[in-house]
């Protein structure tokens, strides 16, 4: 069964349907031997799932989720969309997150079914006037989230945050290969504060 047929058959026909579907996918990861794990992934063992694998396994990390969103938007809409990756450079684990943004009716939207943790809630489809405003907010919310979850100290610098715009990676690559893919993507320069697309 193709993706379009699957989405139609399972009533994932519009953006709100995709949002509700994605909320039910659990945090965890699949290794190179297709074994399911909970918690933070191991970069060597991690395997980026195809959208259909993620649908079947119902467990993944933001990289897997973003590929599902990419697949759905490219299959079910004619809307322009982009994918972004943010990370905090701490010389250790480099906490990170990836998202899809889409453009509709002269606005841009951050599609975020997941950013929801205990008392920290930013789940939603958030509207912005332009990509500059969205990415500045992405950076700010991500930094607050890192402090809230104690992944960085309160006195950490927001200037250690980097954002990349990246294209579709190959499926089944590991975490290091995924980071390499992103490192060869477009780094968003803060000097020209996010040029309009």
pLDDT in tens, 13-37: 999 999 999 999 999 999 999 999 9
CA 195 from centroid of its chain's CA atoms: 21
More confident residue, 41 or 115: 41
User: Is pLDDT of 166 > 90?
Assistant: yes
User: Is pLDDT of 83 > 90?
Assistant: yes
User: Is pLDDT of 194 > 50?
Assistant: no
Q: What percent of the chain has pLDDT over 70?
A: 93
Give the total residue count for the chain: 197
175-183 mean pLDDT? 95
pTM of the model: 0.92
141-161 mean pLDDT? 88
- Predicted local distance difference test score (pLDDT) of residue 195: 43
User: Is pLDDT of 150 > 90?
Assistant: no
Pick from 114, 122, 110, 118: which is nearest to 150 by CA?
A: 118
In sequence order, the 6+-apart residues with CB closer than 8 A to the CB of 121 are: 115
Contact present, 165 and 84 (Cβ < 8 Å): yes
Task: Report pLDDT digits (tens) over 96-121.
Answer: 999 999 999 999 999 999 766 666 67
65-85 mean pLDDT? 98
Q: What are the counts of helices (DSSP H) followed by strands (DSSP E) for the chain?
A: 6, 11
Contact present, 59 and 36 (Cβ < 8 Å): yes
Q: Which domains does the chain have, with CATH numbers?
A: 3-187 (3.10.620)
């Amino acid at each position: 069964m193709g993706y379009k047929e699957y989405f139609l058959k399972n009533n994932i026909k519009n953006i709100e349907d995709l949002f509700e579907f994605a909320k039910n996918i659990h945090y965890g990861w699949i290794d190179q031997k297709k074994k399911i794990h909970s918690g933070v992934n191991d970069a060597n063992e991690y395997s980026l799932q195809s959208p259909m694998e993620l649908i079947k396994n119902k467990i993944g990390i933001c990289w897997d989720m973003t590929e599902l969103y990419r697949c759905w938007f490219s299959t079910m809409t004619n809307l322009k969309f982009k994918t972004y990756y943010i990370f905090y450079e701490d010389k250790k684990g480099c906490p990170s997150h990836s998202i899809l943004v889409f453009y509709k009716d002269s606005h841009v939207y951050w599609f975020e079914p997941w950013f929801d943790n205990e008392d920290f809630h930013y789940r939603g489809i958030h509207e912005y006037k332009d990509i500059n405003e969205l990415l500045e907010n992405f950076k700010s919310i991500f930094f607050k989230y890192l402090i809230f979850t104690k992944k960085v100290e309160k006195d950490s610098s927001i200037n250690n945050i980097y954002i990349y715009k990246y294209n579709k990676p190959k499926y089944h690559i590991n975490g290091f290969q995924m980071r390499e893919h992103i490192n060869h993507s477009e780094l968003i320069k803060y000097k020209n504060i996010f040029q309009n697309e």
